[in-house]
Amino acid sequence: MIAFVTSIGEPTTDLCVWALERNGFEVTLVDDPNTTLAQKLKWIYNAALGINYLRVDSDIIVNRNMTPAFLNSLDDPDIWWWQFITFDWYKQDTTHSMAFIRAQASNALKGNIDRFQYASRPETEVSRIIELHNPRRMATYDKQIMGLHGYGIENLKPVIKLKASRGQSSNYDFELAMELNKL
């Protein structure tokens, strides 16, 4: 199974790819620094037409729970988009991360990504399209933590600025994350 990894040069990119390959994924790294996330997603949605795949940001390190065999065992064929729980280093709490996207979602994703090319969170916007919610075709697998998000990023200033611009600062414990990074 393919895992598409998007990167903007995070220092965890190589570790992210390594963890996925160790778990049995064939990894395609989408890391062109001259493209936006929306453009990267558009490329992925076109490249992945008709296949099931995992979509991961390169600041997520999957653990041994996230494998192709696990994804293939998800037995509800009516769910086209699965998201997973990771431990978020910045929040010091769990969060939703990654997406296992089934082939059935391909046309809807490809047909809608252009609408969100200027959105600050294009993947979140795409996940809200009517095709995934009427009927409900999106779910969160919350029985176990599937990885670690944000660990190893020493310079938190860009992350803090991004979360502030989205009005999300109160959801994060950057002070604790910075103290832990000193260890």
Q: Measured between alpha carbons, how far is 174 from 152 in angstroms, rounded to an integer?
A: 13
Domain containing residue 44: 2-153
- Residue 145, pLDDT above cutoff 90: yes
Q: Which two tokens stand for residue 100?
A: 């296992």
Average pLDDT over residues 9-21: 95
Residue 10 counted as domain residue: yes
Long-range contacts of 44-50 (CB under 8 A, 24+ apart): 44/4, 44/6, 45/106, 45/109, 45/110, 45/113, 46/110, 47/4, 48/2, 48/4, 48/101, 48/106, 49/103, 49/106, 49/107, 49/110, 50/103, 50/106
Looking at the chain, the whole-number percentage of residues with pLDDT higher than 90 is 74
- Residue 183, pLDDT above cutoff 90: no
* pLDDT band for position 158 (cuts 50, 70, 90): confident
| Secondary structure E strands in the chain | 2-6, 26-30, 53-57, 60-62, 81-88, 93-101, 138-149
pLDDT score of 37: 93
Give the CATH number for residue 8.
3.90.550.10
Average pLDDT over residues 4-11: 93
Residue 101 counted as domain residue: yes
Residue 151's contacts (CB-CB under 8 Å, 6 or more residues apart) are: 12, 61, 89
Residue 14 counted as domain residue: yes
Residue 79's contacts (CB-CB under 8 Å, 6 or more residues apart) are: 102, 137, 138, 139
Mean pLDDT of the chain: 93
Residue 43 counted as domain residue: yes
Residue 50 counted as domain residue: yes
Residue 163 counted as domain residue: no
Residue 88 counted as domain residue: yes
The residue ranking higher by pLDDT, 23 or 181, is 23
pLDDT score of 170: 86
Residue 165 counted as domain residue: no
pLDDT score of 90: 87
pLDDT score of 30: 98
- C-beta separation of 136 from 81 below 8 A: no
**What's the structural domain count of the chain?**
1
